[in-house]
Structures are given as structure tokens and as C-alpha cells.
Amino acid sequence: MSDLIKIAVDAMGGDNAPKKVIDGIIHNHKNYKKNFFIIFGNEKEIIPHINNKIDKKFYKIVNTENYVKSTDSPLEAAKKGKDTSMWLAVESVKNKEADIVISAGNTGALLVIAKLNLKMIENIDKPALSALWPNKKGMSVVLDLGANIECSAKNLFDFSIMGASLYKSLYPSDIPRVALLNIGSEELKGNEIIKETFQILNNKKSTDFNFSGYIEGNELMNGEVNVIVSDGFTGNVALKTAEGTANFITDELKKALGGTLIGKISSFLNITNLRKFKKRLDPRLYNGAIFIGLNSPVVKSHGGTDYIGFSNSLNVCSKIVSGNLIDKIKSNI
């Protein structure tokens, strides 16, 4: 067990928990035998789903009947006590019993509980919420996606370092190319904070990443940069817009190809390409947002995803730990 990556799992968070979470663990284990799962939640509910489906040397259950509800405010979640599955999972990382923690539960509660238990990395003021987005050439890391509505130039600079470190952990053979999300590509565009951040990054000579200046919203998916930095307000709007656009395209395509006889024939003739298109836009493939800036990594799986999406977020956990994310951030900062 000593050479396995130890993942603390809040089994009670998100829709259809704990079944979805346990099914995700089972699916992940079928393809990857290097994870050990410390599962926090109601043992009576968990055991029927996991029994005899994974060798017991790859998991253990920490029983607790208390859990954070999706309707709890962050303050209510923190006051519930230290015996909730979310709190105990985060605490296990604090106590070095696990390498990383994951939950599909309440996002605000997870951020507050993580901040109460885990220290910030030295010289970083705020944690950021980051995620993976598809682009024409592969994947991009985007942050902050909502943890910090207002940011200083130092915060945005820190996010740039953390985002580049995260990208390097996930894709070791690639060079991170960092850009600031802005309303134009010209150096004079934007508010004072983003212009100050531009100057800081432009003057920093780094072998860890290349600074590519500004990027506009219509260029997010072109793949010219792979680390995109913004404040949490702008990043969250961009995220919701991208998700809404992807859903609109897939829904309209279904209508166009299923509404008429010609559409159905066209759909049948192009079934291979349509499957590729659908897979490319499948949000489950990009599931797993990461709180970075804390002294230990915290991953948030989408509460509404299914077991495939949760399994993919477990893959993100494995890559973060094996890629030594926290050490990379510390050395770069």
C-alpha cells in the first residue's frame, strides 16, 4: 500500500451518492491499479455497492453517518461538526493519511472546510478554483472559476504560477503558455489590475512557462495558449457561457438530425463522426475542478455527473499527486 496513491473520498456528496461515487471508484480501479481509496461515509450504505467488486487491499471505509447536504450554507456545513464525511476526508489529508481529497458535494462548503483545515502555500494569499477545458489542440487549464470575485495583480500573478504548475503536473512533456483573459489583445486594454499583472508577467523571466499576453473570450478554444487566468467573476461567467454554448450546439444538432427523414438519413450516414463530436463535448471527460493554493490538493467533482465523470475526476487526482503539483508551485513561487 505504501507505493499507492492514497485518495480520500467523500462518498456522501453529490447526486445519487454514495452509489455514483462507489461505482466511479470501481470503474477507475478496473483501469488503474495504483490508487488506494479511503472512503468516508455511511458504511451501511456503502458496503452493498462495493462488496466483492474491489480487493480490500485497495480501499478502506471510515464510517460516519453525518454529511454535508447540498442545501447547507458554507457556514452551516462548518458548524455541523467534525464528523461529517467531507470534514473527515479533508482532515485525513491534513494529517498526512491521504495524498489528496475529492468530493462531489457542496462547493462552497468544501472550500470553507478545506481552508479551515489546510494551510495556504507560503506567499500565496488566495486559493483559486481551476478546471480543464478542451481546445483545438488538446486541453487548457482555466482559473479562477469563482473562488475569488475580486483579485489584486499579485493574486492574478499567483494564479498564473499555480495554473502553469498544474498544467505541467498533468502534461509533463508540454510547456505551459500563460495568457490573461481580457477584453482585447492590445497592451492598453483592460482595467488597471490586469494591466499591472501584464507588466509583472511580461518582466518575469521564467523557464517554467511562457507568457503569451492577453487572450479574448472568442479565442479560449483555439489552443494557442493552455493556461488562461482571470478573476473569479470573469472566469465563472466564461465557464457558464462555454457550458451553455456546448449544450445549445448538441441540442440543436439533435433536433436538426432527428426531425426529418433527410435528417435521420444524414445522421445514420455520419454516425461515426457524430459520435466523435458528441464525445469531444462530453462534460464527463473534463470533470474535476481543483482548489489550488492550499498546502494540499483538493478536487471538486461536479455534483450532477455520473460514475464515469467521477471516475475521470479520480484520474485527475492521480495525475496531480504523481505530478508533484504542490512541490512545483512552491518551487515556482
* Cβ atoms < 10 Å from Cβ of 157: 19
Task: Calculate what percentage of the chain has a pLDDT beyond 70.
Answer: 89
The CA-atom distances, in angstroms, between 125 and each of 100, 155, 158, 278, 306 are 21, 7, 8, 40, 34
What is the per-residue pLDDT across 210-240, written as a single tens digit (0 to 9) for each?
999 999 988 888 889 999 999 988 888 887 7
What is the per-residue pLDDT across 175-222, written as a single tens digit (0 to 9) for each?
899 999 998 877 777 889 999 999 999 888 777 889 999 999 888 888
pLDDT band at 282; cut points 50, 70, 90 = low
Pair 110, 103: CB distance under 8 Å: yes
Q: Which of 279, 320, 278 is nearest to 130 (CA)?
A: 320
Assess whether pLDDT exceeds 90 at residue 259. no
Pairwise pLDDT comparison (274 vs 10), residue with the higher score: 10
First-to-last C-alpha distance (Å) of the chain: 32
Average pLDDT over residues 108-122: 90
What is the per-residue pLDDT across 51-75, written as a single tens digit (0 to 9) for each?
888 988 999 999 999 999 888 888 8
pLDDT of residue 261: 58
Any idea which fold 1-124+293-333 has?
Isopropylmalate Dehydrogenase (3.40.718)
Assess whether pLDDT exceeds 90 at residue 278. no
Report which DSSP code applies to 303: T
Q: Please give the backbone phi and psi of residue 269, each rounded to the nearest 5 degrees, phi first.
A: -70, -25
- Give me the amino acid identity at 44: K
pLDDT of residue 208: 82
Separate counts of helices (H) and strands (E) for the chain: 12, 11
**pTM value?**
0.84
Pair 40, 8: CB distance under 8 Å: yes
Query: What's 109-162 look like in SS3?
Result: HHHHHHHHHCCECCCCCCCEEEEEEEECCEEEEEECCCCCCCCCHHHHHHHHHH
Pair 68, 109: CB distance under 8 Å: yes
Residue ranges of the chain assigned to CATH 3.40.718.10: 1-124+293-333, 127-285
pLDDT band at 314; cut points 50, 70, 90 = very high
The CA-atom distances, in angstroms, between 297 and each of 178, 203, 289 are 21, 29, 11
Sign of CA dihedral 110, 115, 118, 120: positive
Q: Please give the backbone phi and psi of residue 239, each rounded to the nearest 5 degrees, phi first.
A: -60, -50
Ranking 138-142, 242-246, 301-305 by mean pLDDT, the lowest is 242-246
Helix (H) or strand (E) holding 313: helix 307-322
Q: Which of 104, 94, 152 is nearest to 128 (CA)?
A: 152
Q: Which of 100, 179, 102 is nearest to 133 (CA)?
A: 179
pLDDT of residue 281: 56
Q: Which of 285, 290, 301 is nearest to 18 (CA)?
A: 301
The CATH H-level superfamily of 127-285 is: Isopropylmalate Dehydrogenase (3.40.718.10)
Q: Which of 168, 159, 219, 115 is nearest to 327 (CA)?
A: 168
Pair 177, 164: CB distance under 8 Å: no
